A and B are shown apart, each in its own frame.
Chain A
Amino acid sequence: MLRQNTRVALQLSARLSVSARAFHQGSSILNKEEITSPLQIAKDSHLPNIPQEFKKPPRQASKKAPFLSDHKVESKTYEMSSFTQNLGQFVVKFLNIDMDKTRAGPIAGSYYFGECKRQGMYYPDEPDSDTAKFFYQTLNLPKSFSQWFQITALHYWILSVRMRAMPFQYGKNYQQKLVDRIFSDMEMRMSIEMGINSSRIIEGYLKDYHTQLLGLVVSYDEGLVTDDITLAAALWRNVFSGNPNADVRHIEALVGYVRQQLYVLNKMSDREFGFGKFSFVPPDQVVKLLTKAQEEKLRAEAKAAFADRTAPSDRSVLSLDE
C-alpha cells in the first residue's frame, strides 16, 4: 500500500515537473533554436572566472615523455617494408588469424588512445592545442593531471559507447585495449613526467583513478539514456569537479560537444569505426544533421572504399551497413 502511494506520488511529481518544463519552453525570452559550435556557446558567457581552490597548486610535468612511445611502429613516418608485409599477409592467411581481434591493438590501443590523450593534453612550456585551449582557457578548467584524466576519461567513454554497439567479443576487446593503454600510459607519465619515484604511491593514484572511471561511466551512461540535465549534472560532478561557481553556459557547451560526437559515431558503420576512421570533432566546429540522401551517399562511399581492400589483413566481419 505504502509502495503504491509513493509510486502515485512519484508519477504525479513527474507529471508536475513536465508541465513546469513545458511552461518554460513556451515563455522564452530569446528563442534561439539553431545549434552553434561548443566553443561559441561557451564564449558567449562573460561570467568572471573564480578559480577553484587547491590546498597546494597542482604538480606540473617536469619532463616530456614521448606522446605514444619510442617504438618505431608508433611513429608517424613508419612504413613496413614490402618483405615484412608479404610475410605478414602470408602468416595471417595461413594461420587464418581473426583480424578483427588483432586490429583492436593498433586501432583502439594506439590510434584511439592517442585521440583520447591528445584532447586534454598540455605541456607547461608549450602553447596549447586548440582543444586544450577550449578546455583550459574557455571552460576555465584548472591545469592538472587529474583534470587531464577527467577529459581523457570523457573521451574514452564517448568511444566506449560506440564500442558497445559492435559485436560483443570485438567491442569488448576494443574497450579493453583502450582502457589498458590509458592506464599504462598514466603510470608511465606519473613516473617520468610528474617525477613520482614511489611505485606504491603511483599504484595508489591508479586505483583512485580507476574508481573514478567506474563512477563516471555509470553517471554518463545514466545521462545518455535519460536527459540532458542528468548528463550535465554528471559532467559538472566529474569534469568540472563539482565547482559551485561553474558557469552553466560552459556545462551546456560541453553537453553539446559530447552529443555531437555521439551523433557522428551513431552514423558511422562498425567497419569504419573498427578501422579507425573516427576522429573527434574539434570544439570550434558544429555537426550538422545528415539528410537521408547524404547518409546513403556516405554509406556508398564507405562501401566503395572497402571494396578493394582484399588483402588477408583487411579481412573483417564488421558490418558496413550499421
Chain B
Amino acid sequence: MSKAELAERILSVLKTLPKDRIKHYASFKDVQIARFLDAAFIEKTPEEDLKLQYIALRDLVNDKYKNYYKLDDKLLKPKGNPQYYDRIMSEIKGEKKETWLSAMRTVVFGK
C-alpha cells in the first residue's frame, strides 16, 4: 500500500469520528485531520510508521481495548451510586439538564 493510500485511509477513518459532545480547547479529530492532510508530514514519514498510525487509529475506532478488557456492571453501575454515569452522560449529551435542586442534593449528600 502506498503512502498516499494509507494517508487517505487514515483520513477516512478520522472523518467518521463523532463530533466532541462538549467543546474542548482542542479537538482530536480536527487536529489529526490537519496533521494527515499535511503533504510534507506524509512525505517524510516512512511507510511502516504510517501503517502503524493507521492500525492504532483503526484499533481505537473498533473499540479493541474496550471489547477485550470488558468491564462488568459492578464498575459501570457502581452500587454506591448507580446513576453516576447516566447523569454525567445525559448532562454531556444535553438530554436532561441538572436542576438547581438536584445539583444541591449532589453537593449536600454527594450523590
Binding site for B on A (CB under 8 A): 14, 16-17, 20-21, 24-25, 28-30, 32-33, 35, 41, 44-47, 161-162, 164-168, 170-172, 218-219, 221-222, 224-229, 231-233, 236-237, 242, 244-245, 247-249, 251-252, 255-256, 259-260, 262-263, 265-266, 287, 289, 322
Contact = CB atoms under 8 A, between A and B. Distances in A.
A242 B35 CA distance: 13
Interface of B: 1, 9, 12-13, 16-18, 20-21, 24-29, 31-32, 34-35, 45-46, 48-49, 51-66, 68-72, 74-76, 78-81, 84-85, 88-89, 92, 110-111
A16 B29 CA distance: 17
B28 A233 contact: yes
A228 B63 CA distance: 5
Contacts of B70: 263
A168 B68 CA distance: 29
Contacts of B46: 46
B49 A45 contact: yes
Contacts of A244: 31, 34-35
Contacts, number: 161
A161 B75 contact: yes
17 contacts: A20-B12, A21-B16, A46-B49, A47-B53, A222-B88, A222-B92, A225-B89, A228-B65, A229-B60, A233-B27, A233-B29, A237-B24, A252-B57, A252-B59, A262-B69, A265-B75, A266-B74
A24 B62 contact: yes
Instruction: Pick the most buried of B9, B17, B29: most chain A CB atoms within 10 A of its CB.
Output: B17
Given A228-B66, A322-B74, 7 more contacts: A165-B79, A165-B80, A166-B79, A171-B78, A222-B92, A228-B59, A248-B56
